[in-house]
Amino acid sequence: MNEETVAKKRSWRPSRRGLGLLGAGVFLLASLAAGYTGSWIQNRNGGELSTSTQKQVISSESNLISQIAKDVGPSVVSVNVTSAAAASAEDSFFGRSLGEAESAGTGFIVSADGVIVTNRHVVPAGTTKVNVVLSDGTKLTNVSVIGRTNDSDSLDIAFLKVNDKQGKTLTPAKLGDSSKMQVGDKVVAIGNALGQFQNTVTSGIISGYGRDVEAGDSSGSGVTEQLQDLFQTDAAINQGNSGGPLVNINGEVIGINTAVAGDAQNIGFSIPINDVTSMIKSVLAKGKLERPYLGVRYISITDDYATTKNLPTKRGAFVLDSADSVVAGSPAASAGIKPGDIITKVNGKTIDENNSLSTVLGRLSVDEKVTLTIIRDGKTQDISVTLAAAPQS
């Protein structure tokens, strides 16, 4: 069992197929210069921006986005999936043959030998066949699923491997530092919109961060996923865009697009790349997916929860007061974590609304020894824990 937050969030519909982003800083200086010039001229003209200056600013931004698309595009792939169709109760009773279902998403290349990152829901359990289409239209059919995070994992991530490149050169995407992104920063997304419009480019800004949502399949299956610590963006993300990169103006991947608000416009969510970096390194080094695992069921503490439970702190991870909240045989159990403990820090990193326990642990490595700061019976103490690999689903 993975760490999972029990608190329910407002339901959002995930973009159940893939998307991507591109970026380059070639035109950044020109863009900034145009912006500064426009502001200077605007002040000189009593606050009115001349038509020629407006055109210059618009042109500079368009050139920047165009260059991002050209630079990052070769790293973005469309992911086509064949899987066993889900069985209904009636089908199962009568023994009917269900056949196969087809879906599509997006991914991005992280190594020249063909490792690709996408979303778990793009290649779900039951996937029987995967192929990817490169930006130049080349279809690569010998593709396997290296691994995917557990369904209860707050990180909706899977890894693919191209086993036969057919003589093609694969271009890895550049990974950025998502912790440097601020609200209002420009971002670009590229993806397989609606599963048929390959390498669609959209742009927008970071609208917020630290978002927690409950994402449900747009098919109405009733299956939901708890997703945590996400970027919110107004860059258009559509069905088919899941698994693609969100990119900054330097052409670096800073997020992985994973969900959209089904009843709103221009509200999309992306997993910060820093939450996935350790997994990427592990896959590239070991050829398999290993997720750091503690083994507790908890709820993220809010002001209301702290008041209701009369807790000594308003932030942290409250280990549920139940017999199964600390998984038997897990690192948490071996370290002596108990139901009712409050984990407030991991290696000095505070657990709060912007950094959930699972998010902080996800940035660490399997077999890494960490120090948990906990509150037990009103007293603060440090406990040493060695993280293990999460059980596979």
- Hey, which residues are catalytic here? 121, 156, 242
Query: Distances in Å between the alpha carbon of 133 and those of 20, 161, 237?
Result: 13, 13, 19
From first CA to last CA, the distance across the chain in angstroms is 9
Continuous segment of H or E residues that includes residue 65: helix 51-72
Nearest to 388 by CA among 367, 360, 357: 367
Q: What angle do CA 61, 78, 255 make, to 5 degrees?
A: 55
Amino acid at the residue 255: G
Do the beta carbons of residue 131 and residue 137 sit within 8 Å?
A: no
Nearest to 368 by CA among 352, 347, 337: 347
Rounded Cα–Cα distance for residues 172 and 178 (Å): 18
Do the beta carbons of residue 236 and residue 204 sit within 8 Å?
A: yes
Continuous segment of H or E residues that includes residue 282: helix 277-286
Size of the chain in residues: 393
Nearest to 368 by CA among 256, 274, 269, 291: 291
In the block, tokens 């949502």 appear at 213
**CB-CB neighbours of 217 under 10 Å:** 15
Rounded Cα–Cα distance for residues 268 and 263 (Å): 11
Q: Six-digit token pair at 123? A: 């290649």
Query: Distances in Å between the alpha carbon of 81 and those of 20, 139, 193, 260, 339?
Result: 17, 13, 15, 20, 41
Ramachandran category for residue 4: left, alpha or beta (phi over 0 → left; psi -120 to 50 → alpha): beta
